[in-house]
Amino acid sequence: MSEYQKTYKQKYNTENKIITFPLKNHFYNELSRRSNFYDLSANSYAKNIITNALNIETTSNITTQQQEYISKYIHISRGIANNINQIAHNSNMGNAVDINILIKSLRHYEDEFKKFITNI
């Protein structure tokens, strides 16, 4: 091996890492099928998928604080939706809906939502 090749190989190995992992046959077959569409090898196609995914900022990389914020929002929203669903169910069954309970419940969720919004 020439000195140039040795130097090139050393530089390549310090700048790049090779990653290997097992893949179920049905996933490999799908990867291969898709790579043929782009006239790429399965390895090149997989590399493109991974590098593209790493270059795109996604919501999956959210902080714990952001996750807690989202969870609280979902909790409040589901509570409101659940109450509305229960009211609709009762009225469809011919049951009387107590307006005072309805207003109290809606005020409670309105207050919770206002507290939630002001804590942003």
* Contact call for residues 39 and 53 (beta carbons, < 8 A): no
pTM, whole model, 2 decimals?
A: 0.43
**Each residue of 45-102: pLDDT tens digit?**
999 999 888 887 655 566 778 778 888 888 878 877 887 787 778 778 877 777 777 7
Alpha-helical regions (H) of the chain: 3-15, 25-37, 42-55, 64-92, 99-118
Q: Are 31 and 45 in contact (CB under 8 A)?
A: yes
Cα torsion for 56, 58, 63, 68, to the nearest 10°? 170
Domain residue limits, the chain: 7-55, 64-118
pLDDT in tens, 96-114: 777 777 778 778 878 877 7
